[in-house]
Structure 1
Amino acid sequence: MTMTDVNDLVARAYGDPAVVGMVLTGSRARGLATRYSDIDLCVVVSERRESWWQGRRTAEVDAFVCTVDELADTSDIWQRYAFRGAQVLVDKLDGVIAQLVQRQAVPTQAEANTWAREGLDGYVNLLYRAAKSRRDGDLAAAALDIAESVSWLLTTIFALHGRLRPYNKYLRWELTTCPMGEPWSADTLPERLLHDPAGLFPDIERLARERGLADVLDAWGDDLHLLRQPRTA
């Protein structure tokens, strides 16, 4: 399927009264398509019914159907990033579809603060577990906890900047498109996350305290000292 085919789908959407919106997501929306990229489409309907607009997934197109109310539902945090950088192709509701897409892509300050607190606590928890395992000589358990900490760390970094955590595939794109400054550089952060996520703790601690989350860290009391000790293995 080519973008010409997408234009045909757009034309068909305009001619179908059940369809009120169509949104291009994924790599093609972000300008990152390769020869292997499919076309990701969100088709917004007024109500669910049997029609050719049922969601489908092939090697060429990945289309899912949702109602306006479902598009307005922001409870699925992981799914929300799909709308970051999305392109609204059809909006029969005078801008409502575009507004809902924007709402999905941009968290409120309250949402970001909640995610930052949860992410920070989870990150510290796993670093603490890893430090104890390393101290006790269980290097495999320590390595597994460090690897698991990356997801929490990414959530924390982006939430502290008022943003959604990107899918790993789009991490460099996100950091390049909307830079957050050092040490969160597109040139270095992915490698640091891969090779030494625990080494980012001082940077996270500094940022979290600047952003008013000192209480989350201080709740760990003296256990934080274990995280600050040099790692020899």
Structure 2
Amino acid sequence: MDILGQVLARVGADPNVRGVILTGSRARGLETARSDYDVTVVVAAQDRPWRHDTRTAVLDEVVGTVEALADTSVHWNRYSYRGARVLLDRLDGGIAELVARQATFSPEEAREHARDNLDNYINQLYRCVKSRRDGFADAAGLDEVESLPWMLETVFALHGRLRPYNKYLAWELERFPLPEPWNTALRPDRVGTAALRLFPEVEALARRLGHGEEIDSWGSDIGLIRAAA
């Protein structure tokens, strides 16, 4: 019996278990010989929302409640459910619905996330161009690198999407393409040095989607960024 079969046999006998979810590389078909099985066991109740049950080289098993799986307020872990496979669903499709909800922004969430990250992206680019202007080339380079995560969060949110983990960026763009030029511009082999260069395109997209006020709040500083880009 394989690892997933062992897990399902073990937890399936527990009446407290409501679902089993496979995430990570094996769910997405990107596993290597060293990939473990990332499994989430969903239970009706336990003494805390989440706990790590098993962590070995073969199996990484987390146990969480149905209520915890329904909580989308913790952003950093939501992309883990993108491409997840539901192996057991005793809620008649309810576990699958909660997984899909974790992996998908609502329009309101996307707008708020885009706004917040756009501001952080501009802030970091402003630091970059000031350092470059004042002769601090190494600091400018670090600032530009630091702006890249903010840019990725912004662009994906502007498209109503969660930003993928870096490991899955290529998979995301291949499986769920963005409109061009973004699908090409954000490829892992291109985007690493593009945070400043892409600012005019990010600005145009953000303004088209109603975020001009956030950009204009930076006043004349935006001109400095545009000139450097």
1:153-211 Cα distance to aligned partner (Å, 9 max, x none): 11101100101111000001111111012222257632332123111101101111111
Gaps of 5+ in 2: none
Give the distance between the partners of 2:8 and 2:95, measured in 1 at CA.
15
Give the distance between the partners of 2:228 and 2:137, measured in 1 at CA.
15
2:221 aligns with: 223
1:136 aligns with: 134
The verdict on how the C-alpha distance between 1:188 and 1:97 changes in structure 2, with shifts beyond 3 A counting, is: closer
Give the distance between the partners of 2:117 and 2:52, measured in 1 at CA.
36
Of the structure 1 ranges 174-183 and 222-231, higher mean CA displacement relative to structure 2 is found in 222-231
Give the distance between the partners of 2:190 and 2:203, measured in 1 at CA.
16
Whether the 8 Å contact between 1:172 and 1:186 is mirrored in structure 2 is no
Distance apart, 1:56 and its partner CA: 1.3
Q: How does 1:1-233 map to 2 (within 5 A)?
A: 4-48=2-46, 55-185=53-183, 189-230=187-228
Give the distance between the partners of 2:21 and 2:207, measured in 1 at CA.
38
Give the distance between the partners of 1:220 and 1:188, measured in 2 at CA.
25
Q: Percent identity?
A: 52
SS class of match (2:98): helix
Q: TM-score, normalised by structure 2?
A: 0.93
The verdict on how the C-alpha distance between 1:70 and 1:188 changes in structure 2, with shifts beyond 3 A counting, is: closer
Distance apart, 1:76 and its partner CA: 1.0
Distance apart, 1:5 and its partner CA: 2.1
Distance apart, 1:67 and its partner CA: 0.6
Give the distance between the partners of 2:81 and 2:209, measured in 1 at CA.
26
Size of the aligned set, in residue pairs, is: 226
Give the distance between the partners of 2:73 and 2:212, measured in 1 at CA.
27
Give the distance between the partners of 2:228 and 2:100, measured in 1 at CA.
43
1:35-55 Cα distance to aligned partner (Å, 9 max, x none): 111100000111226xxx961
1:46-94 Cα distance to aligned partner (Å, 9 max, x none): 1226xxx961111111111101111111111010111111010011111
SS class of match (1:166): coil
Distance apart, 1:8 and its partner CA: 2.6
Whether the 8 Å contact between 1:183 and 1:203 is mirrored in structure 2 is no
CA RMSD between the two structures: 1.7
